[in-house]
Chain A
Amino acid sequence: MRKVLLGLLVALIAFGAPVGGKSPEELEARILEKIFTDLIGKERVRVLILGDKERTVSKRLRIFSEKIDQVGSCEDADIVLLAGRLKDGLPEVCGDKPLFSLRREDVFKFESCVGAFYWKKGRPNILLIRERLEERKLYLPPEYNRYMESFRSLSLRSGGGM
C-alpha cells in the first residue's frame, strides 16, 4: 500500500498535471476533430474548409489533428467547415453537404448548417441543430445532448437573427 501511495506521489510530483499545458490552438483542433468524427461516424473525416479564416484554421488542423483529412472540393468532403466569412457565397456543389460553422449566425443563414462552434460573451460554445441532424440521419452520442437545440426555439429566442 505504501508503495502504491509513493508511486502515486512520484507521478504527481514529477509530472505535475500531465493533462495540462495544451495550447488553445491544439484544443480547438481537438474539439473540431472530435465533433466531426462523432458526427460522421468515421475514424477519419474528409473536410473542406471555406471562409476568410481558411488559411489559419487549415494550418491548425494540419498540425494538431490526425483524423481530419483536408480536401479541395465539396464532392470529396464528408463535411464542410465554414471558417469565417464567405466572400463569394457557398459553392452550389456544396448544397447537399452538411455544413459546420465557426460563426453562430451561419446556422440562420444556411439551412444545411447542422451546428456551430463559436465564441460568445467570452466563452466558447457548441450549438447543434436537432432537426437538421435528424434529417441527415447524423446521430451523436448522449454527451452532446446539452448542446442540442431545436431550430424553432432557437429562432424564436433570437428573433430569427443572431
Chain B
Amino acid sequence: MRVGVLVLGFLTWVILLGISSAQPITELLKEYEEASELYRKTRKESLGHVIIFRREDLERMQAYRLADVLRSLRFFTLSNNRFGILTLNEYGGQTPIPKHIRLYINDHEVSSLHTGSPFLVWENFPIDIVEHIEIYQGIGAIELGNEPATLILKIYTKEPARENARTLRGSLTSRRGYGGVFYSAEEVSSSFSYIFLISDGSDNRKNYTLGGQKLSRDAFYRYAFLGLYFERAKLELGYGFVKKKPFMGFALDGVAEEGYTKAEDIYLSLTAYLSKDRSMKAVFSIDNHRRKHYEKSSSGLFIPVFFDPDPLKNPKDFYENAFFNKVDLYLSKEFRSKENKLLTAVSYKLYNSNIDSRRYTRLNGDVVNVGSTVPFNRQEIYSLILEDQLSLSERNLLIGGIKIDKYYRNGGFEDFLEYIVRAGYISVINENLSVKGFISKSYIPPYFYDTEISGRDLDPMEIPFSVSVEGMLKYGRLNLSLGGSYVRVEKAIVPDSMGLLTNSDRTIEAKPVFLSLDYLFSERGKLSAGVSSFIDPDVKTSPTFGGFVRVLASIRRFDLFSELVYRNGYTFRGKRVSDGYDLSAGVSYRIWKDLSVKLKGENLLGKASETPYLIYQTGDVVSFPVSERTLYLSVDWVF
C-alpha cells in the first residue's frame, strides 16, 4: 500500500509539473513578477527575524511615511516623545529616544549623528519611492557593518530599470496638512540608470490645550534623493529637512510657549564594486547633520544638566545650534564556495560634534552661554567584521559572526573596546516548515546627546545575552510564524533621580513572544494578523501586549485596506491609560491606468493608544495619541 501511495503522489506531482509548462501567458507573467520582487534578492535571513512590506502592500496601505508601517510592529507602541518626535516604545517601557533603532535607505544608515534615533529628520521620508521595507528584529546583526542595534529598518528605493516612469502625488489632510511628491526613475542605458525624488509637505496634528495654553507639534518637511547607478558603482545623495513646533519641550508646565526644532541631514554615499562578481566592495560616505533648537516657557524649563537648586537660576528659554558630521569608510570581501560564505570587512567611522552656540536665559534674566557641557566631541571607531555562513546541507545553514569595535574618544573620555558575537541556525525542514534561532552578545554605545544632556561620561549599555527562536509554517495559502526570545540588558542608560542620564546597576530582562500569520484569501486579497507580548515584564509603563489585523484587497479598479492595531492599557504614575484601538482604512480608485485617487483615514475610532507625559511642575500626567482622527485625500499620476 505504501508503494502505491508514493506512486500516486509522484504521478500527481508529474501532472502538476506538466500543467506548469503549458502555462498561459498571464500566469507566466504573474509568476515572473513575483519571482522578480526585489526583496527576494535583498532579504537577509541571517540578519534576524524579518518582517517584509512588499510594494503592493505599501501601495494598497497608502503608506506615505514610516509611521504608517510601524504602527503594527510587534513589541513596540508607536509614540511621540515630549518634543513630538516619533519614537517606538518597547513593550513595558518609555523610550524617548530610540537609539537602538537603525534606519537604512538602501545601504546607507541615516540614524541621527546626535541622538542615534533616525526619526527626527526621516520620519516623513516619502514611502512613494520605496520598493519594499525589511524590518529585522535581531540583536547584534553585524553583516551590515552598522552601529549596534536591536531593530533594523531597511527601506529600499525603487529600481530604476523597473520603473521607467515619472510619478506625481499630491495629498491633502483633514487637518490642513499637505504633501507633494515627485520622482522619476529610469534606465537610461544598459550601464546607467537613475532615480530622483523631491518632496515637500506639512504634517499638521491636532493642537491640544494645557493650562489654557496651546500645545502644537506641527511640522514642515522637505526631502530630496538622487541615486545614480553604474555597472560597477553607485552614488546616492540624500537630503532631509524638518522644522517642528516644540510640543511640550523641556517646559516645567508641559507647554513650550514658543520655539522650534530645525534639523537638516545631507549625505553622500559612494559604493564601488572592485571585482566583477561584486564580491569586493568599497563604500565611502559622508553625513552632515545640523540641528537648531529654541524653546521658551514662562514657567521655566527643566533641563537636568542646567538644573539649579535656586529656582530663579533655572532657564526660561534655551537655544542651541549644533553641527555633526560623520565620515565612514567600509571595505568588504566575500569569499563564496558552494557550502560556505565568509564575509570579511573593515570599517572606519569618524564622528564630530560642534556646538556652535548654546545658551539659556535664567528666570532672573541672566543670559548664560554654556557651549559644550562635556569636552568630548570627537569619536573614531575602528571595526573588524567576520561572518561565516556554512551550509551544513541544502536545508541547514549555520551562521557565526564577530564584530570588534574599538572606540577612541577625545576630551578625556575613556576609550573602549566592545564586541558583538552572534551564532545562528536556519533550518528548512521541508517546503512547509522552517525554523531559525540566534544567540548573541551585543551592546549599544552612548551618543553625543546622552553625554551632552548629562554632562558626564557614560558606559555602553550591555546586552550580555540574548537568544531568539522562530518557527515558520506554510500551509497552502497560510503562512504562520511563532517566535520568542530572551534578552538580558545591563548598564542600561536611564535617568537618575535628578533626570541626568546614568548607567543603571539593575539587570533588565525581557521575554518577548509573538504569533503572526498571513493568509491569501483570494488572488489579490490578503489577511495579516498577529499578537505579541512581553512575558512578565520588569516595568509596565507602556503597553505590554498588542495585536493587529490587516486586510488588503483589490476588486476591479478598487484597492481596499483596513487595519486595526490593539495595545493594552496600563498605569503610568497613577494615571490609567486605556486600551488602544487604532483603526485605519483606505480606498483607492484607478480612474485610468496611470491616474488614481485615494482616500485614507487613520485613528478612525479616535481610540488609538495614548502616550503619557509627566508635567514636572505639578506631578500630574496627561496623555495624547500620536495622531487624532485624520483623513487623507491623494491623487497619484504616473507619466
Contact = CB atoms under 8 A, between A and B. Distances in A.
Interface of A: 3-4, 6-11, 13-19, 22-24, 27-28, 30-31, 34-35, 38, 52-53, 56, 84-85, 103-104, 118-124, 126, 143-144, 146-147, 157
Nearest to B31: A27
A49 B5 CA distance: 48
Contacts of A23: 35
- Residue among B10, B19, B25, B26 with the most chain A CB within 10 A? B25
A145 to B, nearest CB: 10
Contact of A18 (B5, B17, B29, B432): B17
B25 A8 contact: no
B12 to A, nearest CB: 4
A120 B163 contact: yes
B9 A22 contact: no
A120 B11 CA distance: 40
A13 B131 CA distance: 33
A11 B28 contact: no
Query: Interface size bucket, B side?
Result: 35 or more
A158 to B, nearest CB: 9
A26 B232 CA distance: 24
Contacts of B24: 143
Given A34-B25, A124-B32, A8 B158 contact: no
Contacts of A104: 164
Nearest to A38: B25
A56 to B, nearest CB: 7
Given A24-B32, A27-B32, A28-B32, A121 B638 contact: yes
Contact of B33 (A123, A143, A144, A147): A123
Interface of B: 1, 4-13, 16-17, 19-20, 24-26, 28-29, 31-33, 35-36, 55, 131, 158-159, 161-165, 167, 189-191, 430-432, 592, 638
Contact of B20 (A18, A122, A124, A147): A18
Given A11-B12, A147-B25, 9 more contacts: A11-B9, A14-B13, A15-B13, A31-B32, A35-B25, A38-B25, A53-B190, A121-B165, A121-B167
Contacts of A35: 25
Nearest to A143: B24
B162 A19 contact: no
Contacts of A18: 13, 16-17, 20
Given A3-B4, A120-B165, A16 B431 contact: yes
20 contacts: A7-B4, A11-B16, A13-B431, A14-B430, A19-B17, A19-B20, A22-B31, A27-B31, A53-B190, A84-B189, A103-B164, A118-B164, A119-B163, A120-B165, A121-B163, A121-B638, A122-B131, A124-B32, A144-B25, A157-B592
